[in-house]
Amino acid sequence: MEDDAIVLNSLETGESDLIITLFCYNAGRISAIARGARNSKKRFVNKLEIFTRLHVDFKQKFSSSLAFLNEAELNNIYPFLRTNYPAYLAGNVIRELLLHSIRDAESDSNLFRLTLWALYQLDMRMAPRTVVALFFLRSFDLLGYRPELSCCTRCGAPASSRPVRFDLHSGGLICEVCNGGPLHPPLSGGSLNMLNMAQSMALEHLDRLKPNSLVINESLRLLYGFARHILQRDINSWNVFSAVMSKSR
């Protein structure tokens, strides 16, 4: 079977083999064994590292069984993403979100496209925090958890009409009135605007968004909180990513 794929994980096994986790355009998430990958001189050399984009040929008996990798052709190694520390850390956060949220053999071509978009933008030197925020927001949508960011989820009042906050449990906004008192602090208009635009823009235009530092900090806090709520777990690579990013500002 031939497919386009992104390497999400790579694990050494046996004498010279690798087991890689691939996110495939058609086949979804699969695990594949690459025999002799660690000593092969040409077949797989340097191709099976995390984040590489490949065209693969594999054999698989059942959709959830371990596949056997026959060939891998490099499509993009994302050289800047691989060598720039903040970009690499951002890529890791994205990779971990994917590893926790996509299941074996469930294809999701839109999420695949979004992932390619994120890796490409990191490689093109888009601000890593912006890439992570936009990836998170759009992936929630594709995973079936689109946050409601235009009006209060309880009374329906438009978010532009009164102060609002984000509520994890309803996955959307709660207004000051439904909250039963003032909000400390309410979500800023700048973040609301940016998030609403990012939800509705075509993917190929998303790189036009250039949110400022305040907006991106507030948005990332909200989005990471929601990601933890959805996944019911931490994203381990988050701490080092946010620590390095807060120092580099």
Based on CB atoms, which residue is closest to Zn ion, 33 or 183?
183
Residues composing the chain: 249
For residues 80 and 83, give the distance between their C-alpha atoms in angstroms, rounded to a whole number: 5
Print the SS3 string covering 91-156. HHHHHHHHHHHCCECCCCHHHHHHHHHHHHHHHCCCCHHHHHHHHHHHHHHHCCCCCEEEEECCCC
# residues near Zn ion by CB under 5 A: 6
Give the interface segment with Zn ion, choosing from 67-75, 117-125, 154-162, 200-208 (CB under 5 A): 154-162
User: Looking at the DSSP assignment, which residues form a beta bridge with residue 100?
Assistant: none
- For the chain, the first-to-last Cα distance in angstroms comes to 46
Residue listed under structure tokens 């469930």: 106
Of 55, 100, 113, 154, the one binding Zn ion (CB under 5 A) is 154
Based on CB atoms, which residue is closest to Zn ion, 114 or 152?
152
Beta-carbon-side half-sphere exposure of residue 132 (alpha carbons within 13 Å) = 31
Give the interface segment with Zn ion, choosing from 52-60, 96-104, 115-123, 177-185 (CB under 5 A): 177-185
Print the SS3 string covering 36-54. CCCCCCCCCCCCCCCCCEE
The contact mask relative to Zn ion for 102-141 (x = CB under 5 A, - = no) is ----------------------------------------
Order of strands across the sheet with 148-152? 148-152, 172-175, 164-167
Of 6, 34, 178, 223, the one binding Zn ion (CB under 5 A) is 178
Binding of residue 152 to Zn ion (CB under 5 A): yes
Of 116, 175, 216, 235, the one binding Zn ion (CB under 5 A) is 175
- Give min distance, CB of 155 to Zn ion, in A: 3
Give the interface segment with Zn ion, choosing from 38-46, 127-135, 152-160, 226-234 (CB under 5 A): 152-160
Binding of residue 155 to Zn ion (CB under 5 A): yes
Give the interface segment with Zn ion, choosing from 36-44, 63-71, 97-105, 145-153 (CB under 5 A): 145-153
For residues 164 and 222, give the distance between their C-alpha atoms in angstroms, rounded to a whole number: 13
Give the interface segment with Zn ion, choosing from 38-46, 174-182, 188-196, 238-246 (CB under 5 A): 174-182
Binding of residue 159 to Zn ion (CB under 5 A): no
Binding of residue 223 to Zn ion (CB under 5 A): no
- Give min distance, CB of 38 to Zn ion, in A: 58
Tokens (6 digits) for 8: 């999400």
What is the 8-class DSSP label of residue 166?
A: E
**Sites of contact with Zn ion (CB under 5 A):** 152, 154-155, 157, 175, 178
